[in-house]
Chain A
Amino acid sequence: MDMLAATVTATASHPQAADDATLARAAAAGDGHAYECIYRRHAPRLYALLWRLCGGSAARAEDALQETFIQAWRKLPQFRFESALGTWLHRLAVNTALMELRASAAFEALDIGEDGMEVLAGLPASMRCNATGLDLERALETLPPRARAVLVLHDIEGWKHQEIAEELRMAVGSSKAQLHRARGLLRARLGETP
């Protein structure tokens, strides 16, 4: 179903200004059109986050985005509206991406297809980034995964060290150390002096 059709269907079966809570209740009851509206509304924000957490790997970011929305579909009936839907999805997306980060070390050797597909696709790397902040985005991609995750969550997403430490299962001090390291590496990659 294309985006226009989805929008028409959702607004026909839901109030004109269908807010997140209305859509979430409909989706929790099994309404696929309402769920697609939720996806269209929140996916771009989550994809930007996942893209960065996955180090600019389009394939992994897409996998993580799909997994996030599959998990959300399963868990929506238990969603109690104690936080905004966007915040809940954001948490779910981070958890999904970091779960892959934690597990990928064990399966890294198996995933020989990704690089191969990228080579075969033959897409110029410059097509993968927006022009705005291009160098910074690329420099972010080169950071070690854990340091990058801490920097993205703290400096871009505004998380506290306590929250990051819980999510990444590390000490608060380690989160601060990783952030310091990530900033130093980032400045070095950008050719700046700390």
Chain B
Amino acid sequence: MNRHDADHEHEHDELAARLRQLPAERLPPATAWQGIAARLREEPRLRPAVVAAPAPRRRRWLPIAAVAAVAALVLLGTGRLRELHEQPPAPPESPLEVQADALADQYRQAIAAIPQDTVPVELVPALHELDASAAGIRSAIAQSPDAGFLLGQLRRTYALRLELTRQGLAAAGLAT
């Protein structure tokens, strides 16, 4: 990344000089590292940089195939194979979905502590819109498991939903 190419005119003007003098650093909020540390704790252990070459694919799958064949025979005997075909197991969740689930659990616990039946009527459409937004973001997370920024959007949506509910109750004179 060498500075500038064939742009000598701009190189010397005042705007360019001011842009280059903008602060190179900005202190991130403390919550940034806390969030990273929390997510790292949920990450699987790192594999070493140098890993042994995996066994040939065919050999690796042979024992699994044998076990699967035996299991299939057993299931056939008990009549459960058809049942399993009809209800295929759900695919495993991505790390992002797992974090979204954890976030949703925290939100549900927080919202459960607030009496919902006394929320002012005028707030209800906004709350429904936020619920729909949260559901949309969770759906987007399921479709784009690498889009980490969606987790931030989900967190903000849940936080706003909680805050609006609390403010609505406070306006109605109810302590939360």
Contacts and interface: CB of A to CB of B under 8 A. Distances in A.
A binds B: yes
Interface of A: 1, 28-30, 32, 35-36, 39-40, 43-45, 47-48, 51, 58-67, 69-71, 73-74, 76-78, 87, 90, 96, 99-100, 103-104, 107, 110-114, 116-117, 120, 130, 132-133, 136-137, 151, 154-163, 183, 186-187, 190, 192
Q: For chain B, which range describes its interface: under 10, 10 to 19, 20 to 34, or 35 or more residues?
A: 35 or more
Contact of B160 (A51, A113, A133, A137): A113
Given A158-B1, A158-B3, A160-B2, 12 more contacts: A28-B49, A40-B33, A66-B152, A70-B40, A71-B148, A78-B49, A110-B140, A111-B157, A116-B156, A117-B163, A154-B4, A158-B2
Contacts of A158: 1-4
B159 interface: yes
Interface string B44-78: 01111100000000000000000000000000000
Interface of B: 1-5, 7, 10, 15-16, 18-29, 31-33, 35-37, 39-40, 43, 45-49, 129-130, 133, 136-137, 140, 144, 147-153, 156-160, 163-164
Interface of B is mostly: helix
A67 B149 contact: yes
A1 B144 CA distance: 32
B160 A116 contact: yes
Contact of B19 (A40, A99, A155): A155
